[in-house]
Each structure stands twice: as C-alpha cells, then as structure tokens.
C-alpha cells in the first residue's frame, strides 16, 4: 500500500488560491505555489501535471463553490437572494472572489485542459438551467432575470474587488432594489 499524500489536492489548490488572489495569475507559478505550500514542485506536478491544469482546477472549484448558493437561491424561488448571493459571497470568500470575478478563465490557463471541459460544461449547464427554470416558473423574461441576478451584482462588486476590498454592506441594498425594479411585473 502506498504512502498517503502529504499535500492533498485541496491544500495545493488553497495555496494556489492564495498566490493567485494576492498577485494575479502571472504570480501563480508552480514554484510560487510550492513555496507557499512548503512542498517540492514535483508534488504539484505529480498531482496536476501542469500549471494550466492546476489553475483551471482552481477556477473550476471557485465556480462550483460560488454557483452552489446562487443556484440554491434560484431553485428556492428567490431571485433577490440569488442577486444578493454575489456581494455576500464576495465578502465571505474574498480570495475566491478575486480569482473568479477579476480573472477570466483564459487569464489563468493558457490552454484549457481537456479533462476539465466536461465538469465546466456541467457547472454552466446547472446555473443556466436554474435561470431558465426560474424564468419559466415565475413568468419572468430570462434576459431580465440574468441582468438582475448576474450582471448587476457582478458590476456592483467588481470595482470594490479591483481595489482589493470587500464590497460594502450598502451594496446589498442597491442590488436588491435594482433586482426588484428590474423584475417587477
């Protein structure tokens, strides 16, 4: 029986998250991530095979964690909660928010690893399906729903994240007011 891994996938991804959130994708080299983790570079290559795979896995993990609350709010029939999920999640998860909302997928991985194409498509399909189902079930125009629950919250938090600070609590009231106004019958 083999020896248990000293550096789990989550520990490696947490180190990559910290490096990427602090210095951006360019700073997230295998050497910098290994240094943050206190691991030899070979441990990272053994687990992920390439920097692109490691950072793409990190981005996918951030998407999955963010979308869980967003989709749950839509599935419970609460568009306002879905809209408020973005600023609240950003305050609770500043490093993940920086990676997810400030850096495009193509900024992180020069070549998106083929082995992550299916998990990413499944993530996007779940969120898209939740938006479509909510719009259908509540008689709301889907484009208006996307604007109210995706575009407005993203725009509301982005400038704060660019300034390396969490969105202030007052953003929530603005997002909620906009969501109600856009989705009003």
Average pLDDT over residues 47-71: 91
Distances, alpha carbon 70 to alpha carbons 5, 9, 84, 172, in Å: 33, 25, 9, 15
Give me the mean pLDDT over the 132-157 stretch: 97
Which three-class secondary structure state does DSSP give residue 5?
Answer: coil
DSSP 137-151: HHT--HHHHHIIIII
The full set of domains in the chain, from first to last, is: 9-183 (1.10.357.10)
Structure tokens at 87: 């600023």
Please check the confidence at residue 1 and state whether its pLDDT lies above 60.
Answer: no
d(CA 135, CA 146): 9
pLDDT of 168 over the 80 cut = yes
Report pLDDT for 101.
Answer: 76
User: Among candidates 159, 71, 55, which has minimal Cα distance to 110?
Assistant: 55
Angstrom distance (rounded) from CA 63 to CA 145 = 20
What's the angle, vertex CA 93, arms to CA 85 and CA 43, rounded to 5? Answer: 135
Residue with more model confidence, 166 or 109: 166
DSSP state of 1: -
Q: How many residues does the chain have?
A: 185
10: how many CB neighbours lie within 10 A of its CB? 10
């Amino acid at each position: 029986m083999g020896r248990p891994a000293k550096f789990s996938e989550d520990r490696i991804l947490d180190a990559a998250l910290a490096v990427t959130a602090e210095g951006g994708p360019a700073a997230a080299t295998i050497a910098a991530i290994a240094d943050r983790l206190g691991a030899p570079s070979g441990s990272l290559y053994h687990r992920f095979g390439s920097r692109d795979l490691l950072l793409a896995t990190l981005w996918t993990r951030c998407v999955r964690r963010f979308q869980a609350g967003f989709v749950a709010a839509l599935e419970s029939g609460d568009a306002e909660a879905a809209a408020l999920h973005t600023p609240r999640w950003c305050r609770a998860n500043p490093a993940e928010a920086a990676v997810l909302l400030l850096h495009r997928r193509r900024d992180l991985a020069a070549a998106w690893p083929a082995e992550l194409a299916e998990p990413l498509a499944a993530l996007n399909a779940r969120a898209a399906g939740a938006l479509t189902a909510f719009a259908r079930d509540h008689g709301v125009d889907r484009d208006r729903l996307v604007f109210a629950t995706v575009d407005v919250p993203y725009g509301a938090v982005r400038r704060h994240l660019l300034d390396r600070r969490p969105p202030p609590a007052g953003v929530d009231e603005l997002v909620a007011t906009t969501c109600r106004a856009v989705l009003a019958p």
